[in-house]
A and B are shown apart, each in its own frame.
Chain A
Amino acid sequence: MLKLFDMNNPPKLPLRFFRWFCHPDLLPGIEGDLLELFDESTIHHGSRKAKWKFTWDVLKLFRPSIIRPAGGTHRMNYYGLWKHHFKMARRQLFRNKAFSLISILGLGFGFAAFFVILQYVSYELSFDRFHENKNEIYRVICFPGDQPVSAGNYKGLVEHIKSNFPEVKKATQLVKYWSMDGRAVRIGKQIFYEQNVLHVSSSFFEVFPTLLKSGDPAQVLSGENSAVITEALARKYFDNENPIGQTIDFGYMGKYIISGISIDIPDNAHFKADIFVIDIPTQRNAWKIVNGIGYYSYITLDKTVSVPTLEAKLIQSIQNLKAEFPHLADDSFKLQSITDIHLHSDLTRELGSNKKGSTIYFLVVIGFLILFMAWFNYINLSTSIFFSRVHEMSIRKVIGSGKSNLISQLFSEYSYVLILAAILAILLIVTLSPFLVKAGIIPDTNQVYRYDIFRAGIFLLVVGSLLIGLYPGLLLSKFKSYSVPRGNFTRTKFGVILRSILMVFQFMASFCLIVGVVILMKQLNHIRSADRKMDVENVIAVNNPIGITDLDIRPPIKLKNYLNFKTKMVAHSAIENLTTSSDLPGSPVNVSVANLLKVDRTAPDDLRPFNIMYIDDDFFDVYKIPLLAGRSYSSNIQQDLNRGSIILSRSAIEHLGFKSPRDAINKKIHSAAEDGYHWYNYEIVGVFDNYLHTSTKTKGNPTIMLLNRKTDDIYINQYFSFTINSADQRKGAIDHLVKTWEAVWPDRDLEFYFVDELYDQQFQNEKILSSSFIFFAVIAIIISGLGLLGVTVYEIRLRTKEISIRKVMGSSTASLVRLISRKYIGLLGISIFIATPICIWLSNIWLDGYLDRIELTPLLFVPAVVLMLTIVLVSSGTSIYKAANSNPTENLRDE
């Protein structure tokens, strides 16, 4: 026995390894052999060598016939078992029809909603990322004092940057002359109308090289009259001919020679363009914004250049110009990364319709909420039906199922649910996407934008969904089979608390979405129904037969043609009056001027821009804009015809320093001519109220109305608008319009708008947002309603006996319903209590983006509370009611 004490022990790690991998049947025998050999070689060769030998032997034992089979002890393959699992899963699916249906519907709707949001968000986040040098391109924007900021600014800015800042690699500017229906372009003998003509400086394609398809970025716009057109346009104009060297005729704007081809500008670019023509800016008026036309300035920077430093230097260097141009004194400048423009730039006169970043992030949050709701729904349901599976599981355990067996069985059941849910989601997406495209919720394209985001989203969806499937298995396989007969398994604290938390989460998410919908609709209504101080109901507008863009190639219509048209139109009994104007309510005023209008000529320049509209006598009548003092224009008064009179908005006279509208009447004001030396002198003849030309989303400028009539020969106001007595006269009036038009201008196309619809288009973004919110809120409500339904169904099945006994003892159905639904109503109360502050916080963030926002009142939360309460009562109440109404003997019989 003494020998035992100085026994040398074999190395621990190899021994443990051996015990781990060795087949259990062989283990004791082989371990004995190893130890016997080890002890022997210790005596013969010493302990060190024996240890080495031992390790080596263990390693050599690591071979297929010795290693234990993975998972179990007996067999290496489980085909039979899997087959069994899937068969059981199929049976299970049909046995618990309600459970399967609810899980599939919940997951399917959740996946579909998440996918739609993912696609939309990846589109919105993809803007301007196709530029290869996207991280180098910046737009320079100007904040002139307290004025509304326009995305375009001074003509001289790019030249100034080029000559003063060597760290700027390339700089370019573009300008777009605004017009609603495009420019007329003559190619050979054909005339086309092009919406998107950009006037760019010669280095444009050096800043945006990705846009150029063929040509040298540095050379392509070097000619005095070079132009670049997109591929699509080249095909449209010249078919298969070589477009290079062809001529585009813009009428009075001149002829251009095509010197390069650009790619078709993708949908996810912040500016649209079909034609780029070279615009060599003169340095005249370099630091003034003439006629409201701003130049958009873009630069490229090396990544090493610090943006804030450059901004500070730029502001400083512009300050140095203030001796010559005093109005620059308050200007400050910022650089916007091109990838930030679409979501984080909300300036006036943006080149495209930008979105609010916060909207997109809200959608991301909603997407996750819905996905998590769907997942939680499944967890909730599957934990709540434990009780019906627990006996089955304990028997399986007793027979010898291991943990992994149970998990794989439950997972194969889940895989059926998952596959069916995925099929449902695909069907939903396919059938719903035409409607969603129409509502603007998802982009109208099959392309995937931002593969990185898309892939990450899908990865999360798949991995999350698989993990969710493991959870019920893990939970079920952990329970002790002996606790089942005692009947206390389904009442474990953990399960109940978890289920309550998940349910509270679902209620909260649905509640927030409903509140969101209510607030969105309220706000939309609020800005739509703001007192516009004018009336666009029943106003129809017609395009001038020779529009501004046609003027390039055609002579304008004459005054007598117009008067002829007007006389014929108002002859119809339904048409009250007809007027002309340069702009229509609902679309921004095209012309605005800064620092031109003064009461005292010697006063310093004033920076505030004024909108200028050209109207005629009856404009205020047709649009029912109240005149606060004075009169409208009249063609009978010579002073009006000579441009000696002016009519201003109330905000304009307030800005000019008059005390009241009445005070301003008959006062003189002056405006500097463009050359800066001559003055126009006006007498104020009327003051009109600040009507909402565009919605309250944007800050309005003070407005000047001038009489449109230079000479008798030409009549160039863009729109003729007239009022109809009542809505049901519309058809008659339009028939009359068509007839009159054919009589007066038979060779021109008639284009007309309903001004109220035009005005409503401003709310497009809000409408899309509210329809998508409604869509997702409905999905969320469906999911949480289904979840609650499932949970109560199983809860009641669990308590059938209790309910029956209560009934036998004399409980009424109503009191039973009250008893059981009390718990869910309590959970709803908790959810509302937690969710309300979150809702208030989020809505305030969103509402603060509006100039004119609604205030949050408790009333806004009432619909959500009522709706949620109804859902809880209906989905839990029905199954409780059913149980409470069933015959107690049926339920108690098997005892």
Chain B
Amino acid sequence: MGKYQLGEFEEVVLLTVGVLYGNAYGVSIKKEMEARLDRKVSVGALQSALKRLEDKGHIVAKYGETTTERRGRPKRYFSITSHGKKAIEETRAVRNKLYGDIPKVAFDVKIV
């Protein structure tokens, strides 16, 4: 796991970028996350997480064409790299392994 360290927020962002395949840019990621996780996401937090993921090589950014809808500003589209994909897979594998190793008894609800 050491190679692909992901924070919780970073992981969610990375997954969302994957979910929105082809249409992942700032506002769409924000909205998707807010809708799915039912929590507020600030532009600052999101952008800095995206910057970090980008620096780590999990995602790449590419400017889209200029349109009128954003007062002429281009969208910055993100997509997952193969490196990012490995990171998601490994994180998931680690989670699953951890989950699988929990003894059944631990989930029994005890009323004391």
Query: Of residues 113 to 153 in A, which have CB atoms within 8 Å of B's CB atoms?
Result: none
Whole-angstrom CA separation of A502 from B48 in the bound complex: 54
B-side residues, CB < 8 A to A, are 25-27, 30, 42-45, 47-48, 51-52, 55, 61, 63, 69-71, 73-76
| 15 examples of A-B residue contacts, CB within 8 angstroms | A28-B63, A28-B74, A29-B73, A32-B73, A32-B75, A32-B76, A33-B27, A33-B30, A34-B43, A37-B43, A57-B42, A61-B43, A63-B48, A65-B47, A66-B47
Chain A residues lying within 8 Å of B71, measured Cβ to Cβ, are 7, 32, 35, 39
Q: Which of A23, A33, A59, A65 contacts B26 (CB 8 A)?
A: A33
A33-B25, A61-B43, A62-B44 known; A28-B52 Cβ under 8 A? no
Nearest Cβ on chain B to A53's Cβ, whole angstroms = 10
Q: Which of B30, B55, B76 contacts A29 (CB 8 A)?
A: B76
Q: Which of A36, A62, A65 contacts B52 (CB 8 A)?
A: A65
Nearest Cβ on chain A to B68's Cβ, whole angstroms = 8
Q: Which of B27, B51, B76 contacts A65 (CB 8 A)?
A: B51
Is A340 engaged at the interface, CB distance under 8 Å to the other chain?
A: no
Whole-angstrom CA separation of A63 from B44 in the bound complex: 8
Query: Closest chain A residue to B51 by CB distance?
Result: A65
A36-B70, A37-B27 known; A60-B75 Cβ under 8 A? no
Q: Is the CB of A31 within 8 A of B43?
A: no
Chain B residues lying within 8 Å of A28, measured Cβ to Cβ, are 63, 73-74, 76
A37-B27, A57-B42, A60-B42 known; A32-B47 Cβ under 8 A? no
Is A30 engaged at the interface, CB distance under 8 Å to the other chain?
A: yes
A-side residues, CB < 8 A to B, are 7, 23, 26, 28-37, 39, 57, 59-66
Q: Is the CB of B51 within 8 A of A29?
A: no
Chain B residues lying within 8 Å of A29, measured Cβ to Cβ, are 25-26, 61, 63, 73-76
Chain B residues lying within 8 Å of A62, measured Cβ to Cβ, are 44
Nearest Cβ on chain A to B110's Cβ, whole angstroms = 44
Chain A residues lying within 8 Å of B48, measured Cβ to Cβ, are 61, 63-66
Whole-angstrom CA separation of A55 from B30 in the bound complex: 18
Whole-angstrom CA separation of A29 from B48 in the bound complex: 13
Nearest Cβ on chain A to B39's Cβ, whole angstroms = 15
Whole-angstrom CA separation of A59 from B26 in the bound complex: 17
Chain B residues lying within 8 Å of A34, measured Cβ to Cβ, are 43
Query: Closest chain B residue to A57 by CB distance?
Result: B43
Chain A residues lying within 8 Å of B73, measured Cβ to Cβ, are 28-29, 31-32, 35
Q: Is the CB of B51 within 8 A of A26?
A: yes
| Top 7 A-B pairs, shortest CB-CB distance | A29-B76, A32-B73, A60-B44, A33-B26, A61-B44, A65-B51, A32-B70
Chain B residues lying within 8 Å of A61, measured Cβ to Cβ, are 43-44, 47-48
Chain A residues lying within 8 Å of B69, measured Cβ to Cβ, are 36
Whole-angstrom CA separation of A820 from B45 in the bound complex: 69
New contact pairs (9) apart from A29-B74, A32-B76, A35-B73, CB-CB < 8 Å:
A29-B75, A30-B26, A33-B30, A33-B70, A36-B26, A37-B27, A60-B42, A61-B44, A64-B48
Q: Is the CB of A57 within 8 A of B44?
A: yes
Query: Closest chain B residue to A32 by CB distance?
Result: B73
Whole-angstrom CA separation of A60 from B49 in the bound complex: 13
Q: Is the CB of B76 within 8 A of A30?
A: yes
A35-B70, A65-B51, A66-B51 known; A30-B63 Cβ under 8 A? no
Nearest Cβ on chain B to A774's Cβ, whole angstroms = 68
Query: Closest chain A residue to B78 by CB distance?
Result: A29
Whole-angstrom CA separation of A26 from B71 in the bound complex: 17
